[in-house]
Amino acid sequence: MSDLMQTFPIRKIIEHGPGVKSFYFDQTFEVQAGQFINLWIPGVDEKPFSVSHIQDGQIEISVKAYGPFTHRLMQSQPGQLLGIRGPFGHGFTLKDRGLLIGGGIGIAPLRLLARQLHERGLHFVSLLGAVSRHEIIFADEFERLGTCYFTTDDGSKGKKGFVTEDVAAIIETEQIKQVYAAGPEIMFVKLKAILDTLHVPYEFCMERYMKCGIGICGQCVLDDSGIRVCVEGPVLNQDDLQDVTELGMMHRNASGKRSI
């Protein structure tokens, strides 16, 4: 692991679905599921990404095209040099009888979590949701590792609707003791309300605009707790989130000003 900027060649690129690609690099560090790395495209910009898989001495980063940076990343070719710093922050804690809840590209960090839980013989169930069946990436991998529930906005896979609708029922039938979630923040808002009432402990993988990744710039700090997503996060539990008032609300952009 290194906080310092180092560059590595892309070893391999695989397309997983519409606008989703995985990039593979030689593994030079250990990663806890949920931790992130900063990826630098020289001459373009640097952004945080979670590691979605580690296998055969390679780390995998799964990316969905949604902005200028990710579009540029989609055009890169094997052999091209990218900068990697990290891994940063704290990942998920591995516990038994977990429910993994992933929304959209949030499924990526849960994939590594599923693998790490499985390796330790810990039982878990997955609940994955997206707009349509194509966007539920790695579905077969999750299915191979345990029970899976799916929801899609259009009903093309699993139940039509949102992941949050069946959470309480699944927790009950599967005797869930711990929830792990990654995905859009509005999903966290709904989950938090449900889980606080049920008193089920949870860990959410947060995302914020980051400048330094090393806890000094203040860009990723959460109101009103003062918690830094890049150091104390990105995975935060129910206690960390108790004083966070900005969940699902405006947060800071590059200038530090709040925006949607």
Partner 1 sequence: MTRFLGLKPDSLLVLASGILGLTASSLKRVIDFGAGAVTTKSFNLEVRKGHKAPSIIPFKNGVLNAVGLSNPGVQEMALEIEKFKKRCDAPLFASVFGRTIEEYGEVIQQLIDRVQPDLIEINVSCPNVRSEFGTPFGDSLDDTARVTEIAKKYAGKIPVSVKLGPHGPGIGRLARVCEDNGADAITAINTVGPGMLIDINVMKPVLSNKTGGVSGPAILPIAVKSVYEVFEHVSIPIIGTGGVTGTEDAIQMILAGATLIGIGTAVYYEGIEVFAKINRGITEYLQKHGRTSIEEIRGKAHE
| The two structure tokens encoding residue 119 | 């390796």
Amino acid occupying residue 12 = K
Contact of 231 with 89, CB cutoff 8 Å: yes
- Out of ligand FES, ligand FMN, partner 1, none, what residue 70 binds, judged by CB under 5 to 8 A for its kind, is none
Interface with ligand FMN: number of residues (CB under 6 A) = 2
Neighbours of 53 (CB within 10 A): 21
- Which of 155/226 has CB closer to ligand FMN? 226
- Interface with ligand FES in residues 202-221 (CB under 6 A): 210-213, 215-220
Q: Is the peptide bond before 48 cis (omega within 30 degrees of 0)?
A: no
- Label residue 66 exposed, middle or buried (CB < 10 Å: 0-12, 13-18, 19+): exposed
Helices (H) and strands (E) in the chain, counts: 5, 16
- Which of 121/260 has CB closer to partner 1? 260
Contact pattern for ligand FMN over residues 160 through 199, marking x by CB under 6 A: ----------------------------------------
Smallest gap, in angstroms, from Cβ of residue 210 to ligand FES?
A: 4
| The two structure tokens encoding residue 236 | 């935060």
- Which of 54/214 has CB closer to ligand FMN? 214
Q: H or E element: which one contains 172?
A: helix 167-173
Which parts of this chain interact with partner 1 (CB under 8 A)?
A: 3-7, 38, 40, 42-47, 81, 83, 211-212, 214-219, 221-228, 252-258
- What is d(CA 247, CA 35) in angstroms, rounded to the nearest whole number? 20
**Interaction between residue 256 and ligand FMN (CB under 6 A):** no
- Interface with ligand FMN in residues 204-223 (CB under 6 A): 216-217
Footprint of ligand FMN (CB under 6 A): 216-217
Footprint of ligand FES (CB under 6 A): 210-213, 215-220, 228, 230
